[in-house]
Amino acid sequence: MAWAMVIIAGMLETGFAVCLKLSDGFSRLGPTLGFALFALGSFGLLTTALKSLDVGPAYAVWTGIGAAGTAIYGMVWLGDLVSVLKIVSIVLVLTGVVGLQLSGSQH
C-alpha cells in the first residue's frame, strides 16, 4: 500500500509542476489553487508512505515519476520541444529509479 501511495504522490507531483507553470507566477487563480491541492496531496501521501519505506528509494520513485511525467506532459500538451535526447533521458531517469528500487529496498 505504501508504494501505491508513492506512485500516486509522484503523479500528483506532475500535477503540481504543471499547475505551477500554468499559474503564471501565481497570478492565475485556478492553476494556483490546483498547484496547492496537488502539492498538499503529493506531500501528504509521500509523508504517509515514508512511515514504512526507506527514504532513498521512495524519494527516487516520487521524483522520477514527477520529473518524467512533467516532461512528457509538457511535450504532449504544452508544446515543449520533443527530441530523441529528451526521450532517452526520460527513459534513463526511470531506469535509474527502478535500479535504485531493485538494489536494496527490503520493504
d(CA 61, CA 14): 13
Q: What is the pLDDT of residues 50-94, one digit of tens each?
A: 999 999 889 999 999 999 999 999 999 999 999 999 999 999 999
Relative orientation angle of helices 2-22 and 29-49, to the nearest 10 degrees: 160
Statement: residue 107 has pLDDT above 60: no
Domain ranges for the chain, please list them: 2-102
Cell of 29: 487563480
Q: What is the pLDDT of residues 2-60, one digit of tens each?
A: 999 999 999 999 999 999 999 999 999 999 999 999 999 999 999 999 999 999 889 99
Task: With beta carbons less than 8 A apart as the criterion, state whether 17 and 74 touch.
Answer: no
Q: Which of 87, 66, 83 is nearest to 19 (CA)?
A: 66
Give the count of alpha carbons within 13 A of 6, CB side only. Answer: 22
